[in-house]
Amino acid sequence: MVSISTSSSAATLDRSPFEDTATNHLWFHGWDMDWEELTEREGMKIFARAKNTTLYDVRGREYLDGLAGLMVVNVGHGRREIGEAMGYQAGEIAYAASSNYTTIPTVKLSETLARITPGDLDRVFFCSGGSEAVETALKIAKQAQALRGFPRRYKVIARRGSYHGMTMGALSLTAGRNEEFFGPFMYGVSHIPSPNHFVNDFELEGEAGDIMCAKFLEQEIINQGPESVAAFIGEPISTSNGDHVPSPIYWKMVREICDRHGVFLIMDEIINGFGRTGKLFASEHFGVVPDLMTIAKGLSSGYAPIAAVVVRPSVFEGFKNEGASIGHLLTFGGHAVATAAANKNIEILFEENLIERGAEMGAYLKSQLELLRSHPTVGDVRGIGMMTCLDLVKNQTGKEAWGTRHPFIKNLGEAVHGKGLLTRVWNQLHVCPPLVVTRDEIDRMIAIIDESLTEVETEFAAEIAAAA
């Protein structure tokens, strides 16, 4: 544990009755859940409160948040001022139907987003979560294509390794979509290679590999038939694919290819947005404006479930005509308490210069992660801003991944969590704290990872030696 309980009332408890109740009734999310780990090996954590980068559970234990929740809590935990803004709004008016009514904070937020999103993105459709935003973007892209005279443009191209959500349309775009349980998927989706500077699909390095990935998009559009393709979707910097920062030429080429073939470019900034990568939006690193942008997570820093799709006038144009309203209505889209939370959150991001701070502390975080390359199982250190990871391998030269279910990965995850750092350990160990993280907290995170790697590498020494 990083440090002992800060709860003055009691020492750390062995178990809380909440854990038994949760074991009996709560359904935890995810596709990689190990029930025994969750219920018998301390995998479950029930948090009682949190402040900035530190969370406190019901047993009185303290944890550092190395994942900002799930790359969500950009302004940090325990912001009473956001709660107050939400409380005030709930007392005024919490809900108005999202079809022809709205509320003051929702209108304000639409104006703010039009102002701060790149280029001429200026029309906002609100939803409640990232998957819903992706579903919405798919429908907008397809309907907008039809409205501008291309009703047969329904196909969508995504990328290998991508994650765009869990509802059926978004899941169809997600690489690990699990055919066995959930197929068949949305018709007309194909997946192409994604920039990867560690294990590239074409065995090319750096920019050359990225250029090939962009060229592959053009080939795929031609192969599918440009007259049938509605959109291409990708995260500017993909977390699910391991935080590879593409060379600037990649997104410029993608933009040109989409324009050449009348294909909409959807950038999924659900994780990337609101300072996570050291800029307000990650597309700014590349100077590229998408036709549609999906945002969620850092939009409210998790204080309320809210997401949105922001589009350019060229996409919205057709929807203004009679009989061309969008065939889409979400009861909670633009919920007033959620938009009040997002307004306050964005105010904090700017007032406290958290984007710049995230870029600065992100550079420090990366420099400290680099020191862990001395571990035989750290194959690579990647990322930008507060979106970084270690690539975990059996050996550095062969770059062989352990696989997410390997006991090395499981034990490393348990070791890190046991020492008080919350993060995700799969083929990559992600470190994506809130933008308010301090140097001291980063140092403690690195120390925990360092110690945990040493412990688990000792445990698996024979397998590591055999792979070398």
Stretch that binds ligand PLP, among 116-124, 163-171, 175-183, 381-389 (CB under 6 A): 163-171
The CB-of-25 to ligand PLP minimum distance in angstroms stands at: 22
Can residue 296 be called a binding residue for ligand PLP (CB under 6 A)?
A: yes
Among 161, 165, 193, 246, the residue binding ligand PLP under the rule CB under 6 A is: 165
Would you say 60 or 161 has its CB closer to ligand PLP? 161
Can residue 278 be called a binding residue for ligand PLP (CB under 6 A)?
A: no
Rounded CA separation 456/397 (Å): 20
Among 19, 57, 65, 235, the residue binding ligand PLP under the rule CB under 6 A is: 235
Can residue 273 be called a binding residue for ligand PLP (CB under 6 A)?
A: no
Which residues have CB under 8 Å from 426's CB, separation 6+? 32, 404, 409
The CB-of-305 to ligand PLP minimum distance in angstroms stands at: 8
Would you say 245 or 270 has its CB closer to ligand PLP? 270
CB distance 276 to 298 below 8 Å: yes
Q: How many residues bind ligand PLP (CB under 6 A)?
A: 13
Q: What residues numbered 133-162 form the site for ligand PLP, per CB under 6 A?
A: 134
Would you say 267 or 412 has its CB closer to ligand PLP? 267
Among 129, 298, 334, 420, the residue binding ligand PLP under the rule CB under 6 A is: 129
Can residue 298 be called a binding residue for ligand PLP (CB under 6 A)?
A: no
SS3 per residue for 197-213:
CCCCCCCCCHHHHHHHH
Stretch that binds ligand PLP, among 138-146, 263-271, 315-323, 440-448 (CB under 6 A): 263-271
Can residue 131 be called a binding residue for ligand PLP (CB under 6 A)?
A: yes
Among 67, 189, 271, 421, the residue binding ligand PLP under the rule CB under 6 A is: 271
Can residue 379 be called a binding residue for ligand PLP (CB under 6 A)?
A: no
Stretch that binds ligand PLP, among 115-123, 247-255, 265-273, 390-398 (CB under 6 A): 265-273
Would you say 66 or 129 has its CB closer to ligand PLP? 129
Among 231, 257, 270, 308, the residue binding ligand PLP under the rule CB under 6 A is: 270
Can residue 124 be called a binding residue for ligand PLP (CB under 6 A)?
A: no
Rounded CA separation 224/221 (Å): 5
Stretch that binds ligand PLP, among 54-62, 95-103, 150-158, 266-274 (CB under 6 A): 266-274
Can residue 258 be called a binding residue for ligand PLP (CB under 6 A)?
A: no
Residue nearest to ligand PLP (CB): 130
Radius of gyration of the chain (CA): 22
Can residue 333 be called a binding residue for ligand PLP (CB under 6 A)?
A: no
CB distance 352 to 277 below 8 Å: no
Can residue 385 be called a binding residue for ligand PLP (CB under 6 A)?
A: no
Would you say 221 or 308 has its CB closer to ligand PLP? 308
Can residue 57 be called a binding residue for ligand PLP (CB under 6 A)?
A: no
Q: Residue numbers of the site for ligand PLP (CB under 6 A)?
A: 129-131, 134, 163-165, 235, 239, 268, 270-271, 296
